[in-house]
């Protein structure tokens, strides 16, 4: 049975600014659409530049006292927020499933669960950072950068918000957050938790609204000292362009076209299973998704057989159905974008291994669904191999040479966010991983490390989130000679 979403969570009229729930300056509202049902189930305020100004002024007023707060006290506040998220895991997971369509069981783990982990980890790290250290006759001091504008995406809305806000708050910064207009409700729920635990007024502020209005006002506001943005490469370039006018630092976590590299001694059962899952998680709407699988040509037939069997087991449907493993895409624009990539690959003569056009797939008639789709023998320079689809579409690329060719194929991308390497020889896998130009690489499906920095190179952006490096990202280094 689908969990009921309380009206007080789904229908929002107020913004959270300066530790209080306040009326927005305008009267327009954002409709929040359930992508499985194609109809609105909630609303949030469409904020204005005036609302951004109020929030920035509140954050700046709080910034001096919060920067002077002992790191241990900041850590206590972050732990309390983590406790608050954990107390409301079921409610948060259900809300985010309604907002963007991830299957409910996965939302518990990846949406609500990771958000709590982000705050918990930041709390643990905050007291371990060397905020001051001597160097010769200098004292190096890490100061908080100040007021941080956080612009967050719809695909992992609360996790990405938490990754930014928890680290910035741990560093002694105050934050003004603009969540995606597609998924604003979970951010307002987090504001409730911040209020409940007594986070000082102005440390955490939320202004919901659109990118052109609220996002651009936040980026260009003279009272904002830094911007942290997660989203598309196109939008990230716009953010960096606007911020550059004030020489404002920007951390960007953007798109990806990550490769899962199978060396010729890889455990195929494990590698193919993890590779397919790494592509299809969240219906492929993951910036670090493993959307390319690089396979030795002599193993291609075996790999293809395993992929077909795995795709046959995927269950596409209502995200509140416990049997569903692949929910809808976030909206009609995303569905049309994915369909365009699939049609383009078919028109180019690329060999279809599984899935295909939505019209022939027997998908639910209501909802923004796309079938899990795999193309094989994909040309490395093709659109499908080079561009981010952001949907459940896997490109299998084969190679005839050795490890050097496999690594070269992995690096043959304008992106560099994540990746994976598989080999029975850990040293060989590590050697390949070292040569892949990307922000993160998993060797033989190693465990997720919440302390490890996350971020990219090339068109995937710059800057790092999570762990100690994610906190340091929100500091400036001052040298005091004495």
Q: Map 442-462 to HEC letters.
A: EECCCCCCCCCCECCEECCEE
| Residue 103 in tokens | 């299957």
Angle at 162 (CA atoms; ends 232, 52), nearest 5 degrees: 70
Beta strands in 24-166 (DSSP E): 29-34, 39-45, 132-135, 138-144, 147-151
Maximum alpha-carbon separation in the chain: 73
d(C-alpha 85, C-alpha 2), whole Å? 21
- Residue 223, exposed/middle/buried by CB under 10 A (0-12, 13-18, 19+)? middle
The one catalytic residue among 181, 253, 304, 473: 253
d(C-alpha 7, C-alpha 5), whole Å? 6
- Asked if 28 is an active-site residue, the reply is no
Strands 15-17 and 20-22: antiparallel
- Whose tokens are 């695909």? That residue is 155
DSSP labels, 134-155:
EETTEEEEEEE--EEEEE--SS
The one catalytic residue among 173, 216, 287, 388: 287
- Asked if 388 is an active-site residue, the reply is no
Q: What residues does 251 pair with on adjacent strands?
A: 228
Q: Report the chain's terminal Cα–Cα distance, integer Å.
A: 67
| Residue 410 in tokens | 């992995």
User: DSSP 3-state assignment of 80?
Assistant: helix
Is 11 in contact with 42 (CB distance < 8 Å)? yes
Is 27 in contact with 35 (CB distance < 8 Å)? no
CA atoms within 13 A of residue 148's CA, in its CB half-sphere: 32
Is 257 in contact with 412 (CB distance < 8 Å)? no
CA atoms within 13 A of residue 218's CA, in its CB half-sphere: 35
d(C-alpha 116, C-alpha 97), whole Å? 17
d(C-alpha 10, C-alpha 153), whole Å? 19
Residue 31: phi and psi, rounded to 5, are -85, 130
Positions marked catalytic: 253, 287
């Amino acid at each position: 049975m689908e969990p009921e979403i309380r009206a007080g969570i789904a229908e929002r009229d107020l913004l959270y600014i300066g530790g209080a729930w306040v009326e927005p300056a305008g009267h327009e509202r954002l409709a929040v659409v359930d992508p499985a049902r194609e109809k609105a189930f909630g609303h949030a305020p469409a904020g204005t530049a005036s609302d951004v100004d109020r929030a920035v002024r509140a954050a700046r007023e709080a910034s001096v006292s919060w920067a002077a707060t002992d790191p241990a006290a900041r850590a206590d506040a972050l732990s309390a927020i983590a406790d608050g998220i954990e107390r409301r895991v079921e409610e948060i997971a259900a809300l985010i499933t309604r907002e963007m369509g991830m299957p409910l069981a996965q939302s518990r783990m990846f949406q609500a669960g990771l958000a709590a982990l982000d705050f918990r980890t930041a709390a643990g790290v905050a007291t371990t950072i060397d905020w001051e250290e001597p160097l010769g006759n200098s004292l190096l001091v890490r100061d908080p950068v100040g007021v941080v504008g956080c612009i967050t995406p719809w695909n992992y809305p609360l996790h990405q918000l938490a990754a930014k806000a928890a680290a910035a708050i741990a560093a002694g910064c105050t934050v003004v957050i603009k969540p995606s207009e597609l998924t604003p409700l979970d951010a307002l729920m987090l504001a409730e938790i911040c209020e409940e635990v007594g986070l000082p007024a102005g440390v955490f502020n939320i202004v919901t609204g659109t990118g052109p209005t609220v996002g651009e006002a936040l980026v260009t506001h003279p009272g904002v000292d830094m911007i942290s943005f997660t989203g598309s490469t196109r939008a990230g370039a716009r953010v960096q362009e606007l911020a550059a006018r004030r020489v404002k630092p920007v951390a960007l976590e953007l798109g990806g076209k990550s490769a899962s590299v199978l060396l010729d001694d890889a455990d195929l059962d494990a590698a193919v299973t993890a590779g397919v899952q790494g592509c299809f998680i969240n219906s492929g709407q993951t910036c670090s998704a493993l959307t390319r699988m690089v396979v030795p040509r002599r193993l291609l037939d075996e790999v293809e057989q395993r992929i077909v069997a795995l795709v046959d087991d995927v269950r596409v449907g209502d995200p509140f159905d416990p049997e569903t493993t692949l929910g809808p895409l976030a909206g009609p624009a995303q569905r049309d974008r994915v369909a365009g990539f699939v049609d383009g690959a078919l028109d180019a003569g690329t060999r279809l291994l599984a899935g295909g056009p939505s019209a022939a797939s027997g998908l639910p008639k209501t909802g923004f669904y796309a079938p899990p789709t795999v193309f094989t023998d994909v040309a490395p320079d093709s659109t499908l191999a080079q561009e981010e689809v952001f949907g459940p579409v896997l490109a299998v690329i084969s190679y005839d040479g050795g490890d050097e060719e496999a690594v070269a194929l992995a690096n043959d991308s304008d992106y560099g966010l994540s990746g994976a390497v598989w080999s029975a020889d850990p040293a060989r896998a590590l050697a390949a991983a070292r040569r892949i130009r990307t922000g993160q690489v998993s060797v033989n499906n190693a465990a997720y490390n919440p302390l490890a920095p996350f971020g990219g190179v090339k068109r995937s952006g710059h800057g790092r989130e999570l762990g100690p490096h994610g906190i340091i990202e929100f500091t400036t280094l001052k040298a005091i000679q004495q």
